[in-house]
Chains A and B, each alone.
Chain A
Amino acid sequence: AQTVTQSQPEMSVQEAETVTLSCTYDTSENNYYLFWYKQPPSRQMILVIRQEAYKQQNATENRFSVNFQKAAKSFSLKISDSQLGDTAMYFCAFMKLPQGGSEKLVFGKGTKLTVNP
């Protein structure tokens, strides 16, 4: 079974600075997907960024980027120029290649990020 570990329960960062959230995972699969989801306080969870394991290039989405180290099974999220609206719980998630339309994600326990003014 796949497991996802987020070792930082809570983090804080000053507005406009950069912060990196860590995630490691365990799997015997060679092809899979990795994700970072954001859950703002009292709001719906949304996808921040996704990475396909067969792609060597790290994914980027505006101020969000990942450092994907396949051999080390590491998938960290870097948030540049942090904004107050980035305050949220961040979940790292893993998914095997979809089979039969199933998209079962395995989530880590989350990292609570607070951006301070």
Chain B
Amino acid sequence: NAGVTQTPKFQVLKTGQSMTLQCAQDMNHEYMSWYRQDPGMGLRLIHYSVGAGITDQGEVPNGYNVSRSTTEDFPLRLLSAAPSQTSVYFCATGIAGGRAGELFFGEGSRLTVL
């Protein structure tokens, strides 16, 4: 049982490059989200989705795009990377109507923007 799978685990980008962080889950969870974790800042919500075709912004959405075409996948796109986007990114899923707030996290993707 894979759970929540994030790829890549590590990535180095140059300023202005674009890339997509992938998140896939095999638990049939309706809720999916992306957080970024920065030293001394905790986790901050970037975007989230309550089901296929539905996305919404979180606390820090600027510079990121998301889409949700299937229940299983929720990619996070950086269109023009900036050094301020250097961070560890976590995908988290949840069961709508299940134990509220119980999120299942991926292992994280460490992104460095030079």
Partners in one complex: yes
- A contact residues vs B (CB 8 Å cutoff): 4, 9, 33, 35, 37, 43-47, 50, 91, 93, 95, 97-98, 100-110
Interface centre among A4, A91, A103, A110 (most CB of B within 10 A): A103
Task: In the A-B complex, list the 9 residue pairs whose CB atoms are closest, starting with the nearest.
Answer: A101-B50, A101-B96, A107-B42, A45-B105, A109-B42, A107-B43, A95-B101, A103-B94, A33-B101
A44-B107, A107-B44, A109-B42 known; A101 and B51 CB under 8 Å?
yes
Q: Is the CB of A102 within 8 A of B50?
A: yes
Q: Is the CB of B100 within 8 A of A103?
A: yes
B102 to chain A, nearest CB (A): 5
A59 to chain B, nearest CB (A): 12
18 contacts between A and B (CB under 8 A): A44-B4, A44-B108, A46-B105, A47-B102, A47-B103, A50-B102, A91-B43, A97-B100, A98-B100, A100-B50, A101-B30, A103-B31, A104-B33, A104-B48, A104-B58, A105-B43, A107-B35, A109-B42
Asked if B45 is at the interface of the complex by the 8 Å CB criterion, the answer is yes
Q: Which residues of B contact A45 (CB under 8 A)?
A: 90, 92, 103, 105
CA distance A37 to B1 in the complex (A): 22
Q: Is the CB of A104 within 8 A of B106?
A: no
Asked if B12 is at the interface of the complex by the 8 Å CB criterion, the answer is no
B109 to chain A, nearest CB (A): 12
CA distance A22 to B110 in the complex (A): 28
CA distance A97 to B101 in the complex (A): 9
Interface centre among A91, A93, A101 (most CB of B within 10 A): A101
Residue on A with the closest CB to B43?
Answer: A107
Q: Which residues of A contact B90 (CB under 8 A)?
A: 45
Q: Which residues of B contact A105 (CB under 8 A)?
A: 43, 45, 101, 103
Q: Is the CB of B101 within 8 A of A91?
A: no
Q: Which residues of A contact B102 (CB under 8 A)?
A: 47, 50
